[in-house]
Amino acid sequence: MEQPRGNETTQRPADLASIREAHDRIRPHIHRTPVITCRALDDIVAHAASVGAEAGSFRHDRARLFFKCENLQKAGAFKSRGACNAVFSLEAAEAERGVVTHSSGNHAAALARAAALRGIPAYIVMPSNAPAVKVAAVKHYGGRITFCEPTLAARESTAESVLRETGGTMIHPYNDERIIAGQGTAAVEFLEDVPELDVIMTPVGGGGLLAGTAIAAKSLKPEITVVAGEPQLADDAFRSLQAGEIIPVGPQDACGPTHPSGVGPTTTIADGLKTSLGDKTFAVIRRLVDAIVLASEAGIARGLELTLTRMKTVIEPSSAVPLAAILENPAPFAGKRVGIVLSGGNLDLTQLPRMLEHKEDEG
């Protein structure tokens, strides 16, 4: 996805130093989110591993899961980290003109909030079919919304028009070094709190969280394994990593990309992950990420339900994808201490029954 140029300055590639600088910069504006565990989920993963094992071959080397609760972050998602870093990185003269983005999800609210904290305008381009709860969040934080047709082309062209009219600075949702560095601060906290992690895992959509996590984790602990969970129905990152080049989800808006099978728009309930990688995020992912593991819709729905009922923790479907991927592919995680970033908690409760319809009948 091309990033509108606007008035953006040359960006320094994200590295551990810039992630630490970002952490210092944003610390007053974010939560240091807790890490929690759940013995019941460890048991369920162990059972899933035993079901797929040959008789007598299952070893009782249980995976231990640790959850970094970015669902409890300001504005309800990890996006506040990158947005705050980008906004508070701007020089004063640049900041006065405001910031611009196109987003239908958590980045829109996070950027509006960060701009409000700095006292500058945020111009947010949103598709006309954006969820009402997301629109309400942007308005709550004072974002100035321009609606457009629900296509990627319309979003980008509308953002270009807003940039010309306002002279603002484009803050891309993920394909921005300041955003990547900000998102990487979650992994720094995670490894400070649980330094013995063997694996660190995030969902992947546009790749900002995954790229920032990979840079931070591999810099702090080179032997750690970095893994992403991705829906089978929006598996562009998985296919891109295999192909060695970016394979986009499709020509349509991030709210409704076309599945590579050609059957039409994807129907994954993990709506925050229907986004193609950017060139900046893909370069990092290709270099530092060890694996992307896919999850079915039934698995994602089950992961969502288990997190709600067993951990008593509210997350959005995208956050359930790593757990779903582990439950459906448990063998590589046996005996490992696995850290999972719960990316967000902005769950649309009106849609919850529909989401859980995907779950398999477990009899």
All structural domains of the chain: 35-76+177-356 (3.40.50.1100), 79-170 (3.40.50.1100)
pLDDT at 251 over 60: no
Per-residue CA distances from 360 to 44, 192, 296, 334 (Å): 16, 37, 10, 24
- Does the active-site annotation cover 104? yes
209 confidence band (pLDDT: 50, 70, 90): very high
Tokens of 192: 């400070």
Residue with tokens 């409890």: 72
Span 65-76, mean pLDDT? 97
- Does the active-site annotation cover 79? yes
Span 45-51, mean pLDDT? 88
Q: Count CB-CB contacts under 10 A for residue 198.
A: 16
**Catalytic residue of the set 79, 134, 274, 280:** 79
Span 31-44, mean pLDDT? 97
Of 58-72, 151-165, 172-186, 262-276, which range is least confident? 262-276
Per residue in 179-190, is it b (16+ CB within 10 Å) or e — as a string?
bbbbbbbbbbbb
Question: What pLDDT sits at residue 261?
Answer: 41
Tokens of 107: 């980045």
Question: What pLDDT sits at residue 348?
Answer: 82
pLDDT at 258 over 60: no
Question: Cβ(284)–Cβ(217) under 8 Å?
Answer: no
**Catalytic residue of the set 18, 104, 240, 343:** 104
355 confidence band (pLDDT: 50, 70, 90): confident
Question: What pLDDT sits at residue 50?
Answer: 84
Nearest in space to 127 (alpha carbons), one of 274, 239, 18: 274
358 confidence band (pLDDT: 50, 70, 90): confident
Per-residue pLDDT of 282-291, as tens digits, reads 999 999 999 9
Of 137-141, 249-253, 329-333, which range is least confident? 249-253
Task: Return the bridge partners of 66, or none.
Answer: 339
Q: What is the DSSP letter of 3?
A: P
Question: Cβ(120)–Cβ(98) under 8 Å?
Answer: yes
More confident residue, 180 or 1: 180
Question: What pLDDT sits at residue 295?
Answer: 97
Tell me how far apart the alpha carbons of residues 70 and 318 are, in angstroms, rounded to a whole number. Answer: 12
User: What share of the chain in percent tops pLDDT 90?
Assistant: 75
Tokens of 68: 């970094």
Tell me how far apart the alpha carbons of residues 256 and 264 are, in angstroms, rounded to a whole number. Answer: 9
Tell me how far apart the alpha carbons of residues 166 and 169 are, in angstroms, rounded to a whole number. Answer: 9
Span 25-35, mean pLDDT? 98
Tokens of 146: 């321009």
Question: What pLDDT sits at residue 9?
Answer: 56
Span 333-340, mean pLDDT? 97
56 confidence band (pLDDT: 50, 70, 90): very low
pLDDT at 169 over 80: yes
